[in-house]
Structure 1
Amino acid sequence: MTDINWDELSLEDLKTIQKKATKAISTFQARKRKEALAAVEAKAAEMGFALGELTGASKTKGSKAPPKYCHPDNPAMTWTGRGRQPNWVKDAVANGKSMDDLLIVK
């Protein structure tokens, strides 16, 4: 490795070096992470297991929540009660309906 006289570099040069070093570090870490994961998966397979079986990780990323509310006139329009309220829910509440009126199971 060559010696660099850091005092002679401009701010732009230093920022460029910093950006390149940050990128090199993150790619190095990602490569090492992949190597470690491959080694662990290989060892698990060697012993007759899938890595997910040993860690308890499921293959599904999540389950959908069942719908909790439905549109009073169009039952095909539903909402789980999670996330942003659909416009039809906002409109119904603005027109005097309560959330209980929109429940699928009362």
Structure 2
Amino acid sequence: MASLKDLLAQRAALDKEISDTQERERSEAIAKVRSLMADYGLTASDLAGGKAPKAVKTSKVAAKYRNQATGETWSGRGLQPKWLRAAVQGGAKLEDFAV
């Protein structure tokens, strides 16, 4: 029966071998892709379908609530900001902050 020390040493050796193999295979794959790209005259944009990747469009939402003292706003989406939550817990009404 192997001791814990022996098993840990085996695991460390396996982890190193796995890491080395992954690095070697990745390097080989990159070289293969570069070779194919050179053979066929391809560019990175060709691989992306000839188009640049599209950025995710985000739209701004109009503010529904405003802190008159600081000018901070909240759209009504997501968690309530701390300033609004504190004011509501302090007795103010949500409607008092409506824009």
**TM-score, normalised relative to structure 2:** 0.52
Provide the rounded CA distance (Å) in 1 between the counterparts of 2:50 and 2:82: 37
Report if the CA contact (8 A) 1:68-1:78 is conserved: no
Could you say which residue in structure 2 is the equivalent of 1:3?
Answer: none
Residues 62/37 of structure 1: CA separation in 2 closer, same or farther (3 Å cut): farther
1:53-77 per-position Cα deviation (integer Å, ceiling 9, x unaligned): 23549765843522224364348x6
- Runs in 1 of length 4+ with deviation above 6 angstroms? none
| CA contact 2:65–2:74 (8 Å) conserved in 1 | no
| Separation in 2, partners of 1:64, 1:89 | 29
Shift of 1:22: 2.0
- Does structure 1 residue 96 correspond to structure 2 residue 88? no
In structure 1, stretches of 5+ residues that fail to align are 1-6
The structure having more radius of gyration, on CA atoms, is: 2
Deviation string 1:42-96 (CA, Å, 9 cap, x unpaired) is 3113312124523549765843522224364348x677x5xx646269639x542
Aligned-residue RMSD, C-alpha: 3.9
The count of residues paired between Structure 1 and Structure 2 equals: 87
- Identical residues among aligned pairs (%): 24
Unaligned ranges ≥5, structure 2: none
Pick the aligned partner of 2:29 from 36, 45, 48. Answer: 36
